[in-house]
Structure 1
């Protein structure tokens, strides 16, 4: 029964189609990431700074335009938006693939490609995050998010290994071309989705101050602010883990592209296991966010101390498990605990923090790797992550003396003195529909006594 429960969101036809498209397309995405990193290393003579700059340029648009992207996503049809963004990413991949295949690619071409990809990501990432709740009901959302992560990590297992072999055999160019073609699977799945079976969030009318409105919403939720601070701190080095692995494999152990693909695949195997374990859980818990983040920091530290390539790649497996436990639980927490009309903006802030720190951290990682060595860079990242998680654990569990659980939708807070209700208004303590119900998600406030503080979702929607 637990095995069946692990895949329960696949019972929804629209989500099943979408998941299948992602399953077929994700390996191409990871093949491209390996090809991009390896192409930069070869064109730049193994420069860590050049590799860091590529990562920075890819994530820089999210840092500066992420909030605008989230506000725009809340105003647009999510399915149509994704058809456009996926098609644009495919065109970019094909263009760079042609240049690399012809032997005309230069480092600045890769920089330009990475920046263009980042611009599209400003809309694509929050769009994909906000589209999942439109395909599945609230009680299936945690499972759907976990299966999305599992699909992505499965591509991360197969993609790098295939990319390493293809790069060694025919070069980086054809790998970009293959990825460009793979976007067709996702586009086809989106076109086959039955729009009548979706539960779309009511589009937010165009107006002024929508970004400020989203910022005010998040700033009023101290639990979300603390979680965003945790994400920013852990991702400063964590978002550049792929860069660190590439530098360790190439500069320390002096192995080839195939070995780099294997190392990336080992991290992905762990991440896949972590995502599948997350799919078995009904609700995200704060404790898992903190344990996963701390374990990831420990993994970075241990990996940086490994003396051989074999020992290094073995450590990457539990490191991947810890990272995906942390990421999936954190993602589900944000998706399940925010007003649906704010989801695009809130998820853009989540992604801005989660991905936007990469442009800041990437040059730092490259500098540390070039100055002190790639392994020392990983050790520093691990120690930094562990210190941050330890410092934020106490304030996260206690938000102004109130259990985190009591702050979330679906939980009735402790009674407080209120003025008598005016005519036509509900009395204090009377259950009223929340924004999720108004948006057609079937979620409404239900009476519930406060309980354990690591429960982040409240009761299931009836």
Structure 2
């Protein structure tokens, strides 16, 4: 299997191991954040505020800070970012206290963590494809996606065991420890890149930091998107997908209770089925090329939309578990081909597109989290049906329009080449 071959390479193994620990840390962070906020306020609305506060730096930096993002495009810089996140995470249990003052401090630290994450994520995504040969890019992206799928299954159990020994607020410190490990991994990778730079990977892009600011100027996204309409359409489709994702994120427990009278145990089974489907889907999409990336991407999101409709109409728990497995199966098929497509660009363009993608999904996801829960409260089944129809239509329109746009762009390129030759 391609994953096992990649893990025999020490840099990939180091990266994957630190990513796996970071994903578990993110699970700890997410649980700690929501639980501590709810425990101190007794309000679900404040939980939503905390999620929005974390997303604001992603939106601001992604929109206005392209030069700032480009300054951190090296493993050494990423190590310092994670060192900063480790300090902030470990300081939460020391600075937090029950009450309004403690909540304000917590929200401020969340904002700082969001800003550091907004700088870290796109840069890591831009650096990873240069670590392997070009024909292994899809597999290494799938391998990193696998950490998320494994954490979705193992994470809740691990968190439950950890909470037997520590309090919820101490989970922030454990998350900080995972950032410290990641920082060490980034610095090791920086040293490895410097040691192996003279040899150079065959067909790989340069591995040094990207020139920034006055030296070269960060790349603007709009001209790149105009030259590559498939990427522009994929970006729009992913925005719609993350907007409607709020329905299942906050509405699934309510739907299961109203529709089938299920308890928390039934909700846990559904989450387990989603996790199992996502794991199976990753093993397929990470190792088998299924066709043109845009068609695979649109097909995956169309299936995801149909599963939202299925949730609203499922007559029994066994049917619901089958739909949940199918929903999980579609998730990596909508993520890995998209990230692989972005990895095909040269590194400066790749970094800008990954940053724009993060900005789009954070923005649309935040809008969805603010708007759609009210629809779920009013009518859970109708909210799932509407979200499913929207996603299916968006995927179908993108597939048809994308094929035509790609064909038109290809004709224009051929005509331009022929014109220059004549």
Note the C-alpha offset of 1:96: 3.4
The 1:110–1:156 alpha-carbon spacing in structure 2 relative to 1, beyond 3 Å, is: farther
Distance in 2 between the 1:290 and 1:54 partners? 32
Match of 2:202 in 1: none
**CA apart distance, 1:28:** 2.0
CA distance in 2, matches of 1:144, 1:418: 39
1:135 corresponds in structure 2 to 131
User: For structure 1, which segment, 242-251 or 155-164, has the greater mean C-alpha deviation from structure 2 after superposition?
Assistant: 242-251
TM-score (norm: length of structure 2):
0.83
Cα shift readout 1:81-133 (whole Å, capped 9, x = no counterpart)? 22122223333333334567x65686555544443332122201101101202
Deviation per CA, 1:27-63: give whole Å up to 9, x if none. Answer: 121232233334444445463x433333222222222
CA contact (8 A) 1:299 1:318 kept: yes
Q: RMSD of aligned C-alpha atoms?
A: 3.5
Helix, strand or coil at the partner of 2:210:
coil
CA contact (8 A) 2:227 2:409 kept: no
Structure 2 counterpart of 1:298, from 295, 298, 306: 306
Q: Alpha carbons of 1:115 and 1:359: their partners in 2 closer, same or farther (altered >3 Å)?
A: farther
What corresponds to 2:12 in structure 1? Answer: 15
Map 1:255-270; keep pairs closer than 5 Å: 264-270=271-277
Q: Is residue 2:32 matched to residue 1:35?
A: yes
Is 1:350 equivalent to 2:351 in the alignment?
Answer: no
Alignment partner, residue 91 of structure 1? 87
Does structure 1 conserve the Cα–Cα contact (< 8 Å) formed by 2:72 and 2:78? no
Give the distance between the partners of 2:315 and 2:80, measured in 1 at CA: 46
Give the Å deviation of 1:174: 3.0
Q: Any conservation in 2 of the 1:271–1:320 contact (CA below 8 Å)?
A: yes
Match of 2:383 in 1: 377
**TM alignment of 1:382-421, pairs within 5 A:** 382-399=388-405, 401-402=407-408, 413=414, 416-419=417-420
1:243 match:
250
Distance 1:239 1:133 in 2: 30
CA change 1:289–1:130 in 2 (3 A) is same
Deviation per CA, 1:195-244, whole angstroms, max 9, x where unpaired?
A: 22364156224229945733322233222211111111111122674334
How far did residue 335 of structure 1 move?
1.3
Name the CA shift for 1:300/1:53 in 2 (closer, same or farther; >3 Å).
farther
Question: Structure 1 residues 327 and 161 mapped into 2: Cα distance closer, same or farther (>3 Å)?
Answer: same
Q: Map Cα deviations across residues 129-162 of structure 1 (whole Å, 9 max, x no partner).
A: 0120232121211110010000122122211232
Alignment of 1:52-451 (within 5 A): 52-98=48-94, 103=98, 108=104, 110-164=106-160, 166-167=162-163, 171-193=167-189, 194-195=192-193, 196-197=195-196, 199-201=206-208, 203-207=210-214, 210=217, 213-238=220-245, 241-245=248-252, 264-282=271-289, 285-306=293-314, 315-336=323-344, 338-370=345-377, 372-399=378-405, 401-402=407-408, 413=414, 416-419=417-420
CA separation in 2, counterparts of 1:347 and 1:299? Answer: 27
Instruction: Please give the alpha-carbon distance, in whole angstroms, between the structure 2 residues aligned to 1:116 and 1:221.
Output: 34
Q: State the Cα distance separating 1:73 from its structure 2 match.
A: 3.6
Contact 2:72 2:119 in 1 (8 A): no
- Following superposition, the deviation at residue 364 of structure 1 comes to 0.8
Higher helix share: 2
Distance 1:67 1:211, change over 3 A: farther
Q: Which ranges in structure 2 are unaligned for 5 or more consecutive residues? A: 198-205
2:139–2:287 contact (8 Å) kept in structure 1: yes
2:280 and 2:329 in contact (8 A); partners too:
yes
Equivalent residues of 1:232, 1:357 under 8 A apart: yes
What SS does the corresponding residue of 2:214 show, helix, strand or coil? Answer: coil
Task: Give the whole-Å Cα distance in 2 for the aligned partners of 1:242 and 1:92.
Answer: 27
Q: CA deviation at 1:358?
A: 1.5
TM-score (norm: length of structure 1): 0.76
